[in-house]
Structure 1
Amino acid sequence: MEKLLKGGRVIDPANGRDEIADLLVGDDGTIKAIGANLTAADTEVIDCAGYVVSPGLIDIHVHLRVPGQEYKEDMATGTAAAKNGGFTAIACQPNTSPPIDHSSIVKDILAQAEGADARVYVVGAVSKGLKNEELAEMSELKDAGVIGIGDDAYPVYESGFLRRAMEYCKMLDLPYVAHCEDKDITTDGVMNEGYVSTVLGLKGINRAAENIGTARNIILAETTGCHLHVLHVSTKESVEIVRHAKSLGAPVTAETCPQYFALTDEACYGYNTNAKMSPSLRTKEDQEAIVAGLIDGTLDLIATDHAPHAPHEKEQEFARAPFGMLGLETSLGLVITHLVKPGILTLSQVIEKMSVAPAKIFKLPGGSLTIGAPADITIFDPDAEWTVDVNAFKSKSRNSVLHGVTLTGKPIATLVGGR
């Protein structure tokens, strides 16, 4: 049956649209018409008055934990969490068990994702076993369907190895998706090095670890011509490094995550392991730089770095707990609360960074409400206030430092291919 989304505020940055309108979804799962006072016979009418109707949100940085770590998250719970957060598509990172380093694993993930609550894309591992010793068969990974090659959580240390990887990515027209970190500086640090780490008596991670990794990777991208996508930018220096590289025409795009403009390392007080993440939460100055980077386009998109962990893993001393925090189900609320309500970004600019840009950068379907395009649509209430309750999450895990926090902006529904 066709669906008529009635009377919503249709915001479609890709086509310059921001107006109260109706949107008709055809029975073939594509967008059929947009306009005022649309009518159609034998149609399911969805009242969208007071809601925003936008292109489906896309999160290109998700740890789905499939395969091998399904006790933290699985295909059903991960895509349900995506739907609950307003996302119609997600891209899973390769640091699974085993890593996504073989075409058979890619095919298995995509087969599991058929009929799921969100579209699932895959980032392949740069090396076999993510050991950074032998390159993965990137051509076979591409043929199997990966949208990029990455090293998240296991950044490549040896520059010559990374150069060769980038040369292959350039040849295959695949972006290199980089976790930028110099592990020689990180060593066994557990949070941002600074005042808070000193007060807590915890070993800090100097920001230079991220900054050096970012600069080195950009230089290699310029050398090889490979499109580099920088994951989860968190420091003011990394923002400036990316900004300078873009001014010189470097083939680089970059993202940040809501936690880096919504939280600081003060969230670690009380030894709250849910605030332990990589990169670490930073300072107020870093927050301000992240926001400035979003405003001027240095940071192209907003992703979540959704990183589920089982309760028993987070319920131990800070130094032993794993890095990571849930993100899919709180992202939109954090963005509207911290960027839209204060007037920093408009809703259109937010949708650009959470839908249009990820689709464009990774050459994915979606990102617009163009007639004839797949009906991947997010409907959300930009004014709804709600309190985060981790026990109501669709995710299998509960590791969020936001439990009990009130946010503004709540997803109402998603459509994936009209469904």
Structure 2
Amino acid sequence: MSKILIRGAKVLGGEPQDVLIDGRTIAEVGVGLGAEGAEVVEAEGKVLLPGLVDLHTHLREPGREDSETVLTGTRAAAAGGYTAVFAMANTFPVADTAGVVEQVYRLGQEHGYCDVQPIGAVTVGLEGKKLAELGAMHESAAGVTVFSDDGKCVDDAVIMRRALEYVKAFGGVVAQHAQEPRLTEGAQMNEGIVSAELGLGGWPAVAEESIIARDVLLAEHVSSRVHICHLSTAGSVEIVRWAKSRGIDVTAEVTPHHLLLTDELVRTYDPVYKVNPPLRTERDVMALREALADGTIDIVATDHAPHPHEDKDCEWAAAAMGMVGLETALSVVQQTMVETGLLDWAGVADRMSFKPALIGRAAGHGRPVSAGEPANLTLLDTAYRGPVDPAGFASRSRNTPYEGRELPGRVTHTWLRGKATLVDGKLA
């Protein structure tokens, strides 16, 4: 592989520096580096970050290739600045065996746009009744360390306790979709003033908060790790903050859409805003931003949930839940966290690269931009502003809530171990 010199980039938003890539690694970081024999990327005014890591992506393959495939999903990831994604287990068949997780893992290796780390199901078939082959999935070629029934809650406390105990043996983590099913039967949107006015079934905050409270106590009881998926309420923030103050080994994520959008958008009855957990209130949004800034919420995860046109372009009640997010996540974080002064770019690198890689044990990712480290890098033009056009997405699906909305920032380059996967905003 040839040498690449990234010239004049603001590394983690700091002073301009040059970064020399030699093969798969960063050879040197400094000012005025020589460029002999190297391809030069002029990066003046742009921000250079470590490659982003998404702990919560739905790639849909196997079984729902009409929504997304490992190829199209990882191309979308590269376009969004990601060099590693964790693929959720709710595929068809469910990723609850070594064979299925190895299939997903190898597809990621073959396509080469970003590393794909499969997440294994906690229970067989996501049915919540019997533990899946957690040990076999961990010992497989995929080396699974994160387990989740995302899309469904592990609502049985005994099953959740057993899962937490099991993963301790190899340092794994259970990622919980916190949703008490009996409190959300028929729920269509956040329970509150808007749901009452629209006549849509309400999704109460307590359905999320009660499961989080139970699970942090279980994690404390068995001395294990628990991760909270797509935390969405101010009450959930307070529970996680309390748990951390007790020394409980809990981490939590927030999605970009929960940092920006509110349930007021549901007044349009546009199913593009239908998502699980639902869009909450402005108060919740502000609490989530503050929690991400102060570290109560550890990371940003996209919950990239692609759906074909026919599953979203229908009446609200029949529409599927979920939004695509890989290609817009960094822009939303720039608008909600950086431009508001809540985070600097070093903080963004921490929440979108360093910590998700640490939680998921993503080897070679979430590393400093320094000599000797793998050349997993993202270059962002922060001065760019423009409307979101889903027609240009690399994802197979177009169910974005940001169509036509002006967002800041554009990823121009992504490198995976020194190999360009995105060049001048176009997939390599």
TM range (shorter): over 0.9
- Please, which of 157, 160, 163 is the counterpart of residue 159 of structure 1? 157
CA-CA distance at 1:162 after TM superposition:
1.0
Q: Give, as a single letter, the amino acid of the residue that structure 2 aligns with 1:161.
A: I
Identity of matched residues, % = 39
Q: Which residue of 2 aligns with 1:276?
A: 274
Could you tell me whether the CA contact under 8 Å between 1:75 and 1:116 is conserved in 2?
no
Aligned to 2:404: 404
**Deviations 1:183-226 (Å, cap 9, x if unpaired)?**
11011101101111122211111111001111111111111111
* TM-score, normalisation: structure 1: 0.97
Matching residue within 101, 126, 133 for 2:96: 101
Q: Which deviates more from structure 2 when the two are superposed, residues 341-350 or residues 324-333?
A: 341-350
Structure 2 residue runs without a partner (length 5+): 420-428
- Establish whether residue 254 from structure 1 lines up as the match of residue 255 from structure 2: no
Q: Deviations over 1:236-291 (max 9, x none)?
A: 00000000000000010111011112000011122110100011000011011101
Match of 1:121? 117
Query: Equivalent residue of 2:12, what SS?
Result: strand
Any residues of structure 2 matched to 1:216-227 within 5 Å, and which?
Answer: 216-227=214-225
Secondary structure in 2 matching 1:188: coil
CA distance in 2, matches of 1:379, 1:356: 16
The question of whether the paired residues in 1 share the 8 Å contact of 2:198 and 2:267 is answered with yes
Q: Find the partner of 2:311 among 310, 313, 322.
A: 313
Contact 1:121 1:147 in 2 (8 A): no
Structure 1 residue 41: deviation in Å? Answer: 2.9
Q: Within 5 Å, which residues of 2 pair with 1:51-130?
A: 51-114=46-109, 115-130=111-126
**Is the 8 Å Cα contact of residues 359 and 366 (structure 1) preserved in structure 2?**
yes
CA distance in 2, matches of 1:146, 1:102: 11
- Does the aligned pair in 1 maintain the 2:289–2:336 contact within 8 Å? no
> Residues 255 and 301 of structure 1 are in contact (CA less than 8 Å); yes or no, is this contact kept in structure 2?
yes
Cα distance in 2 for partners of 1:196, 1:85 equals: 33
Runs of 4+ in 1 over 2 A off after TM superposition: none
* CA distance, structure 2, for counterparts of residue 411 and residue 75 of structure 1: 21
**Partner amino acid for 1:79?**
T
Is the CA contact 2:353–2:365 (under 8 Å) kept in the aligned structure 1?
Answer: yes
Task: Note the C-alpha offset of 1:40.
Answer: 4.1
- After superposition, the C-alpha distances for 1:51-86 in whole angstroms (9 at most, x for unaligned) are 111100111110110111111000111011111111
Aligned residues: 413
Q: Distance in 2 between matches of 1:261 and 1:134?
A: 35
1:19 positional shift:
2.3
Structure 1 residue aligned with 2:426? none
Any conservation in 2 of the 1:126–1:135 contact (CA below 8 Å)? yes
Supply the AA of the counterpart residue of 1:307.
A
Which of 129, 136, 140 is the aligned partner of 2:136?
Answer: 140
Aligned partners of 2:181 and 2:207 also within 8 Å: yes
Instruction: Give the aligned residue type for 2:10.
Output: R
Structure 1 residue ranges without an equivalent (≥5): 13-17
Deviations 1:296-327 (A, max 9, x none): 11001111100000110011111111110111
Q: Which residue of 2 aligns with 1:15?
A: none
Indicate the larger mover: 112-121 or 375-384. Answer: 112-121
2:288 to 268, 287, 290: 290
Deviation at 1:42, TM superposition (A): 1.7
Q: Decide whether the 8 Å contact of 2:290 with 2:342 is kept in 1.
A: no
* TM-score normalised over the length of structure 2: 0.95
Map 1:300-379; keep pairs closer than 5 Å.
300-364=298-362, 365-367=364-366, 368-379=368-379
Question: Which sits farther off after the overlay, 356-365 or 375-384?
Answer: 356-365
The answer (yes or no) to whether the contact 1:366–1:373 under 8 Å persists in 2 is no
Alignment partner, residue 245 of structure 1: 243
Secondary structure at the aligned position of 2:317 is classed as coil
- Show CA shifts across 1:108-128 (max 9, x none): 111111142111111100111
Contact preservation (8 Å) 1:79, 1:117: yes
For residues 152 and 281 of structure 2, the distance between their equivalents in structure 1, rounded to whole angstroms, comes to 25
